[in-house]
A and B are shown apart, each in its own frame.
Chain A
Amino acid sequence: MAELIIHIITPVAIFIFIACFTLFAVYAERKIAGFVQDRLGPMETGKYGLTQTIADILKLLQKEFITPSKADSILFAAAPIVIFVAVFIGFSVVPWAPDFVPAHLHTGIFFLMAVVSIDAIGILMAGWGSNNKYSLLGAIRAIAQMVSYEIPVGLSLIAAVMITQTLNLNDIAYLQGVKSPEQIYFMGFWNVTDIGGIFAWHVFQAPHLLVVYIIFFIASLAECNRAPFDIPEAESELIGGFHTEYGGIRFAFLFLAEYAMMFLVAILGTVIFLGAWNTPLPNIGVLRFADWTTGLGWGLFWTVSKSLFIVGIQMWIRWTLPRFRADQLMTLCWKILIPLSFLCLAISGLWRIMVMI
Chain B
Amino acid sequence: MKFPVFRISLIATASMLPISLILLIIFLVIYSWPAIEYNQFHFLWTNDWNLGNLYGNPVEVDGHQVMPGAKYGIWFLVVGTLASSVLAMLMAMPIAIGAAYFLSEGIRKSWSGPLSLFVDLLAAVPSVVYGLWGYALLVPLFGKTIFPFLANTFSFIPFINGSPGSGYGLLTSAFVLAVMIIPLISATLRESIQMIEPALKEAGLSLGLNRLEVFWHIILPKLKKVLIGVGILALGRALGETMAVLMVSGNALNYLPGNIYAPISTMAAFIASQLDSALQDPTNMAVEALSEIALVLLLITVLVNISARFILWMEKVR
Q: Do A and B come from one complex?
A: no
